[in-house]
Amino acid sequence: MNVIETSGLGKRYGSAWALHECSLAIPAGHVAALVGPNGAGKTTLLNLTVGLAPPSAGSVTVLGGLAPGSPGALDGIAFVAQDMPLYKNLNAADLLHLTRSLNRSFDQKYAEGRLGELRIPLKRKAGKLSGGQQAQLALTLALARRPRLLVLDEPVAMLDPVARHDFMATVLTAAADDGVSVVLSSHVLAELERVADYLILMSHGQVQVAGETDDLLASHRVLTGPAAEAGWYAGRLCVVHARSGGAQAHLLVRTSGIGDPVPPGWEAHPVSLEELALAYLREPGTAALPGPAFSSHAEPSEVTR
C-alpha cells in the first residue's frame, strides 16, 4: 500500500506554479524524508496530501487510494504543521480535551502518560512551555489520535539539538512500535540521515529523485581523479554533480550497478545521504538524464585531443 500517491500533481497560485508534474509513490512502513530548499514545493505537497488545499492539476490519494480530506483520510492521518499551531492561552489538559472532542479517536491515557514522562505539566499554558515542550505537546496530540500516517512539516526547525534529538526519537519509536508511516519535511540533513529510510528530493516544484535510502546510496558513488579528464567523463557518465579543486575532480555519478568499472586512474568512494541530497538540489533536473555507463575500452586522451 502507498500512503501517498500522486500523478501529475500541480498547484498554482495565481500565475506561479508552486508544484507541477509531481508523480510520486511513497510505500507504507517508512520514515520518508522530504528534502528541498525554500520554495521547492514541500509544504504545498504536504498541504495537498492532508486536504488543506485542492490541486490545480493531476491527482493525489492517501492511505491506499483515499481522497485527501475524506473521513477515512482524516481519521488515518495526523499532521503537525511547521509552526506547531497550539492555542497558547490553553493549558495542556485543555488541548487534550479539545483534540479529543474534535476527533473520533483519541487515546487520552496515552497522551496523559506521555506528557507525564516528559514532565510537561497539564495545567501549564502552551504559551508558557519551552519550544521543545511545545513541539512534544503537538506531537503527543497527533500520536494520541493513533494515526496510520504522521505528516510533519519542518517540526524541528526551531529546536535546539537536544530537543530535536528527543523529538525525532519519539517519531522513530512510533514508527517502530506502532507501525506508523511518517513523512517528514526538514532542512536538517544530518538528522535525516539518522532517521530516514526513504528519501524524496524536491526542487523548483518538482521531485528530483525518490526511493529507499539504501537503494539510492548504492546506486551512486563519488569518483575522484584528474581534473583534466573530468570533462570527458562528464559527457559519458551520468554525472549528478561535478566539482574540482586544483588538479583533482570529484564527480558524483549514478551507476547502473555495483559492477560498474572505475575509470583508469580514478578512485570510487561511497556517497553519504547529505552529499547525495546536496548534489541533486544543486543540479535540479539531473534525475531525468539517462547517462551511459563508463566503458573501460575508451581512451579519454584520444577523444580530447
What would the pLDDT profile of 169-218 be if each residue is shown by its tens digit?
A: 888 998 988 899 999 998 777 777 788 999 999 988 999 889 999 999 98
156 and 232 within one domain: no
Same domain, 133 and 162: yes
Q: At 261, is the secondary structure helix, strand, or coil?
A: coil
Residue of 39 and 200 predicted with greater confidence: 200
Q: Which residue has the cell 492511505?
A: 63
Q: What percent of the chain has pLDDT over 70?
A: 91
- pTM for the model stands at 0.84
Dihedral, CA atoms, 140, 142, 148, 152, nearest 10 degrees? -100
Does residue 137 carry a pLDDT above 60? yes
* Judgement on whether residues 139 and 100 belong to the same structural domain of the protein: yes
φ/ψ of 276, rounded to 5, equals: -60, -45
- Look at residue 292 and tell me whether its pLDDT is greater than 70: no
The number of folded domains in the chain is: 2
Name the burial class of residue 124, with classes exposed (0-12), middle (13-18) and buried (19+) by CB atoms within 10 angstroms of its CB. Answer: middle
pLDDT at 293: 35
CB 209 within 8 A of CB 239: no
Assess whether 156 and 33 both reside in one domain: yes
Domain of residue 199, CATH code: 3.40.50.300
- Domain check: are 72 and 207 in the same one? yes
Residue 64 is part of which domain span? 2-213
Strands (E), the chain: 2-13, 16-27, 31-35, 57-62, 77-80, 149-153, 181-185, 198-203, 206-212, 220-226, 238-245, 248-254, 267-270
